[in-house]
Amino acid sequence: MMVMVNDFGAINIDKALIEAQDDDVIALTNGCICCTMGTDLFLALGDALDRRPRPDHLIIEASGIADPAAIANTAIAEPDLIYSGIVTLVDALNINALLSDPLVSPQVAQQMAAADLLVQTKCAQRVADVDNACQNNGLPLPVIVEPSAVSILTLGAKLSNEASVASVHPDYVTWYVSDSPVLDHARLTTALKDRPEWLFRLKGFVRTEQGLQEIHVVGKSIDIKVVQDNTEASLVALGVRGRFTKEAMDVWWQGVTGASSSIAHQQT
């Protein structure tokens, strides 16, 4: 099995988060993240098919703002591939807020509607907001499984060769920082709890006096944990254009660090 990993920033944080990395992982960055991943996806598919032995299965792990229908249509157009379905992960803690946001909700609903299989995450029990969201959109209730089982479910998703209609998505802006100073852990956690509402997504690695920290922030969820110091410190943020600006993010981040640091930006 081979996995293609796509992230929404110039730094592929998702690839660094994969526990077991070897020749069966292809990282994609700087493609058209919201639509088809651009030319990078075509080249990566060709790379995968040229390998000997060829992988038996190919899983494309797209970013959370990607359009699964458009990516699936790219795979369907490749004659040497048999399309086996889309798995969409439904965030149980944040789905209600996402579907209530007029800018984001059409894309979220389309991601769910395009799925051959819906999988609930962030909670091991049934959640009323998730069930209601599915019922209101005429969708089946999602299954609840251990995270490690998602790839297995992907391989068994409903076979379909029908192309889906790609969605119109909001305009996103991404921001990233690398080589940040060692942060005060208490100051970092306070800043994350009090983060601006326009900060839609934040993830990556930073260093504090407690060591290298892996950070995930989305909606109501904040996850910080110490990890093995075997990767570079880098952080990626995402927001909707018009709400999120790189200048405002710079100001917020400098408040976290207490000083200026190496900041870079990418807009999509």
Q: Is residue 55 part of a domain?
A: yes
Say what percent of the chain tops pLDDT 70.
74
Say what percent of the chain tops pLDDT 90.
12
Which residues contact residue 255 at a Cβ distance below 8 angstroms, ignoring those fewer than 6 apart? 191
Give 225 or 157, the one with higher predicted confidence: 225
Residue 150 sits in the same domain as residue 184: no
| Chain segment 174-225, per-residue pLDDT in tens | 888 887 789 999 999 999 999 998 898 888 889 999 999 989 888 778 889 8
Q: Residue 208: its pLDDT value, please?
A: 93
| Chain segment 95-110, per-residue pLDDT in tens | 988 888 888 888 888 8
Domain boundary among 100, 128, 156: 156
Residue 178 sits in the same domain as residue 144: no
> At which residue do the structure tokens 């080249």 appear?
43
pTM above threshold 0.85 = no
Mean pLDDT of the chain: 78
> Domain containing 196 — which CATH number?
3.30.1220.10
Domain boundary among 125, 156, 187: 156
Which residues contact residue 133 at a Cβ distance below 8 angstroms, ignoring those fewer than 6 apart? 90, 95, 96, 99, 112
Which residues contact residue 91 at a Cβ distance below 8 angstroms, ignoring those fewer than 6 apart? 98, 121, 122, 218, 219, 221
Residue 82 sits in the same domain as residue 177: no
Domain boundary among 156, 184, 209: 156
| Chain segment 8-50, per-residue pLDDT in tens | 555 555 555 554 455 566 666 554 444 445 566 777 788 888 8
Q: Is residue 25 part of a domain?
A: yes
Q: Is residue 263 part of a domain?
A: no
Residue 143 sits in the same domain as residue 84: yes
Q: Which domain range does residue 236 map to?
A: 172-257
Q: Residue 184: its pLDDT value, please?
A: 92
Residue 137 sits in the same domain as residue 176: no
16 CA to centre of own chain: 13
pLDDT at 62 over 90: no
Q: Is residue 72 part of a domain?
A: yes
Q: Tell me how many domains the chain contains.
A: 2
Q: Out of 68-82, 108-122, 187-201, 254-268, which region has the weakest mean confidence (pLDDT)?
A: 254-268
